[in-house]
Structure 1
Amino acid sequence: MTRPGPRVIENLRGLRVAVVHAPDQDCDALSSQLRRIGCEPVPIWPAPVAVPQGVDLVFLQLDHGTHPSKTWALDEAAPAIIVVLEYENPVMLKALLDSGALGVLVKPLRPAGVLSTLVLAQGLGGYLKRQEAKVRKLEESLKAHRDVAKAAKILGELKDVPESQAFELIRNQATRRRISMAQVANAIINAQDVLKDLSEG
């Protein structure tokens, strides 16, 4: 049986990690530790407006002169972000929340803490992406149910049959055409919209 510890470390090897940090001693220390872990540090400076692309994780220097835009936190496709704080005050803590970071390191940077923060951020990032995918799937499913119910009502009124029977007609049509009930429902809804526009025109 494979122990989970070594596998967690192994999963970090080969990761491309953006180091959005001014060139200095802390930047060098962080990059060196990332190389020891097995990651590939990608130096980026000055800080870009958008989240760096083509990387698996981002270390972001956060100070009075470097505040990422809120689009960083809103970008669902963005890699996990670890903030490097120079000091802690209300302004920096607000910027920390706005960044959408999943981990924090405080200067002066030391090798200890980089690995555990990296593991935590990578794990949380993967978990959040899986949860977001589930939410999107549930939202799509809920919309499909609403569309089918709306289409069944339209069809029921059109054919003067109960909605339960209209629902079965939609199901049968979907089975016959080998498409989803939501697709049949959308066709019915769109057809009604077209007819309504024509009658009003």
Structure 2
Amino acid sequence: MRRRLSIPNLGGARAAILHRPHANVTALVRQLQAVGLEVDCHWPDLPASARAVDYLFIDVDTAYDDQFPWQPGEAPMPTIALIGSEAPGRIEWLMNFGVDAQILKPVGDNGVYSALLIARATFDARMGLTGEIDSLRRRLGQRQTVVQAVALLAARGKSEDEAYEQLRGMAMAWRVSFEEAAARIVGSANTSSEGGCEHV
């Protein structure tokens, strides 16, 4: 079942703007303060302390990778692009950088509130998917470790079912998870082979 999204409380949130001094920045700051955000403006570089803000606005027309204290696609907060130019090179940079919402320039008297909400929802969904993918990769790695452990135990003349049951018994005896027991057996076998020993 799809999780229902809710509107976050923006009061007290912090935003950073990476944009040269301009009327667009003045309009943006005015809108952000009106919905309760604290705002810091930076140019030409974003300090490492900006990692702690809740939202980041960037000027896509002039932005470049070295302005940010992280790699493209790894912004630790929802990012909103301020776009004035639709030049292919700028749009390509924007796609590679990875943003969660956008506002077209010139910035007027509205549009910031909805951009904040969309950026937060998009960022949270992306982080959730990243977490799920990491979890699936870990589980896949654990399954491969279990297969290796069973193969090591079966190499001693046991059937696959007997080796599997032996692994289960070891996990219970050691009071660890099935996967942890498998990792111990595989790790022990790797250490033994490096040391020239034969036992697991």
Residue 189 of structure 1 aligns with which residue?
186
Instruction: Determine whether 1:136 maps to 2:167.
Output: no
Q: Secondary structure at the match of 1:83?
A: strand
Q: Secondary structure at the match of 2:155?
A: helix
The structure 2 residue matched to 1:108, chosen from 106, 109, 129, is 106
Which AA in structure 2 matches 1:198?
G
CA deviation after TM superposition for structure 1 residue 94, in Å? 0.9
Which AA in structure 2 matches 1:74?
G
Equivalent residue pairs, number = 192
CA deviation after TM superposition for structure 1 residue 45, in Å? 1.7
The structure 2 residue matched to 1:46, chosen from 25, 36, 44, is 44
CA deviation after TM superposition for structure 1 residue 49, in Å? 8.0
State how far apart, in whole Å, the 1-side matches of 2:161 and 2:47 are. 53
Residue 167 of structure 2 aligns with which residue?
170
Distance of aligned partners of 1:49 and 1:68 in 2 relative to their CA distance in 1, 3 Å threshold: farther
CA RMSD of aligned residues (A): 2.3
State how far apart, in whole Å, the 2-side matches of 1:129 and 1:13 are. 23
The structure 1 residue matched to 2:147, chosen from 127, 146, 149, is 149
Distance of aligned partners of 1:50 and 1:98 in 2 relative to their CA distance in 1, 3 Å threshold: farther
CA deviation after TM superposition for structure 1 residue 119, in Å? 0.6
CA deviation after TM superposition for structure 1 residue 55, in Å? 0.8
Q: Which runs of 5+ in 2 are unaligned?
A: none
Q: Secondary structure at the match of 2:158?
A: coil
> Which one has the bigger helix percentage?
1
The structure 1 residue matched to 2:65, chosen from 68, 74, 88, is 68
Residue 11 of structure 1 aligns with which residue?
9
Which AA in structure 1 matches 2:84?
E
- Please report the TM-score for the alignment, with normalisation by the length of structure 1: 0.86
Distance of aligned partners of 1:72 and 1:56 in 2 relative to their CA distance in 1, 3 Å threshold: farther
Deviations 1:130-163 (A, max 9, x none): 11111111111111111011101101113x1112
Distance of aligned partners of 1:117 and 1:30 in 2 relative to their CA distance in 1, 3 Å threshold: same
State how far apart, in whole Å, the 2-side matches of 1:133 and 1:96 are. 23
CA deviation after TM superposition for structure 1 residue 199, in Å? 2.7
Percent identity, aligned pairs only, is: 24
State how far apart, in whole Å, the 2-side matches of 1:145 and 1:38 are. 48
Residue 32 of structure 1 aligns with which residue?
30
State how far apart, in whole Å, the 2-side matches of 1:95 and 1:47 are. 17
Q: Which runs of 5+ in 1 are unaligned?
A: none
CA deviation after TM superposition for structure 1 residue 51, in Å? 9.1
State how far apart, in whole Å, the 2-side matches of 1:107 and 1:187 are. 58
Deviations 1:57-80 (A, max 9, x none): 1100122x42235954332x6111
Structure 1 residue runs of 4+, over 6 Å off? none
The structure 2 residue matched to 1:91, chosen from 89, 92, 98, is 89
